[in-house]
Chains A and B, each alone.
Chain A
C-alpha cells in the first residue's frame, strides 16, 4: 500500500499503473460527488472527473508539492467543474449572510437584555442516546446538507463528513481560512436549525 505523496508521485512517474489505479480508486467517489454539485448531470460530472485525471497526468511534471497531492487534485477538479458549470450557463452563487439563529429568538434592541435568548433552546440531553444517530435523523441531516448552497455544501462535506483539515479545504477550494470558516459556520448552523425543529416536538420545553 503506497501512502506518502512522494511515494505515489515516484510510482506514477515510473509509469506504475497499479499505483495510478489505487489513486483513482481513492478519490473517484468524492470527486464525482463534488463535480455533480456543479454541473447538470451525472454524465457531465463523469466527464469533468475524467478531464481532471488528464489534467493531473499532464500537470504531474510541474507539481511542486507545495500543496498535498490530494488538495492539488481537488483544486484541478473544482476549477474544471466551475468552468464547465459556467459553460452550461450556471453560476455558483456566493453565500449570502444568513444568521446562525433566527433573530426573532433574541430580545430586540431597547430591551435591557437585547441580544439575549427570549426562551432558551431546549436541551437535547433528554433524548434517548441513539436518537441523533437514528437512520431517520441521519437521512434528514443528509437532505439538509444536500440543499445547502454549493460552497457551504462542499466545505461541510470535506470537513465534517470526509474529515479533511481546514488547511486542506482552503487549498482545494482556493479560499481563505476566514472564508472557509464562514462557510462552515453557515453550513453547521443550518444543520443545527434543521435538527432543532425536527427534535422539538420530542422535547419537554422548559
Chain B
C-alpha cells in the first residue's frame, strides 16, 4: 500500500469496514511510515473538531400550521397538499 492509497481508503479503516487482509496491509504500512501516522492522526483530529460543532439544540418553535394539521388529522380530515 502506498501513502497515496492509504489516504483514499482511510475512511473504510476508521469506519471498521475494511477487510482484515487490507487492515493488515494498512497497519503494516503505518509501522513503517511516520508521514501516514501523522496523516491518520490529523484525520482523527479533524473528526474530533467537526464533532465539536454540535450545539445543544435551541428550543425549536413548532409552527401553528403544523399543530393545526395534527388537530385536523386527529379529526380524520384530509390534509392539504398530500
Which A residues contact B (CB, under 8 angstroms)? 15, 17, 20-21, 24-29, 46, 50-51, 53-55, 57-58, 99-101, 103, 106, 114-117, 120-125, 132-133, 137-138, 141-142, 145, 156, 160-163, 166, 177, 181, 184-185, 188-189, 191-192, 195-196
A124: chain B residues at CB < 8 Å are 41-42, 45
> In the bound complex, do residue B46 and residue A195 qualify as a contact, i.e. CB atoms below 8 Å apart?
yes
Contacts of A137 in B (CB 8 A): 49
**C-alpha gap A125/B38 in the complex (Å):** 9
Which chain B residue shows the least CB distance to A14?
B74
Chain B residues within 8 Å of chain A by Cβ, number = 49
| From B35, B39, B46, B61, residue with most partner A Cβ within 10 Å | B46
User: CB < 8 Å: which of A58, A117, A185 contacts B10?
Assistant: A185
Whether, in the assembled complex, B80 has its beta carbon less than 8 Å from a beta carbon of chain A, the answer is: yes
- Chain A residues with CB under 8 Å of B43's CB are 188-189, 192
User: Which residues of B are found within 8 Å of A188, using beta-carbon distances?
Assistant: 11, 43, 46-47, 50
Chain B proximity of A29: nearest CB distance (Å): 5
Q: A117-B35, A121-B42, A132-B45 are in contact. Are A21 and B62 (CB under 8 A)?
A: yes
CA distance A20 to B63 in the complex (A): 12
In-complex Cβ contact of A120 among B34, B49, B61, B79 (8 A): B34
The residue in A160, A189, A191, A196 that gathers the most chain B C-beta atoms within 10 A of its C-beta is: A160
A123: which B residues are within 8 A, CB to CB? 38, 41
Residues of A within 8 A of B70 (CB): 17, 20, 53, 57
Contacts of A166 in B (CB 8 A): 15
Q: Are B11 and A185 in touch, CB under 8 angstroms?
A: yes
A25 to B9, CA, bound (A): 38
For the complex, give the distance between the alpha carbons of A53 and B70 in Å: 9
19 intermolecular pairs with C-beta atoms under 8 Å apart: A20-B67, A24-B66, A28-B62, A50-B63, A50-B69, A54-B69, A100-B8, A101-B4, A103-B4, A115-B2, A115-B3, A116-B2, A117-B3, A123-B41, A132-B48, A161-B54, A166-B15, A181-B11, A181-B17
Q: Is the CB of B17 within 8 A of A25?
A: no
Contact of A132 among B49, B57, B65 (CB under 8 A): B49
Using A25-B62, A58-B79, A116-B3 as known contacts, say yes or no to A156 and B41 having CB atoms under 8 A apart.
Answer: no
Residue of B nearest to A192 (CB): B46
Within B8-45, which residues are at the interface with A (CB < 8 Å)? Answer: 8, 10-12, 15, 17, 33-36, 38-39, 41-43, 45
Which B residues lie within 8 Å of A17 (CB)?
Answer: 67, 70-71, 74
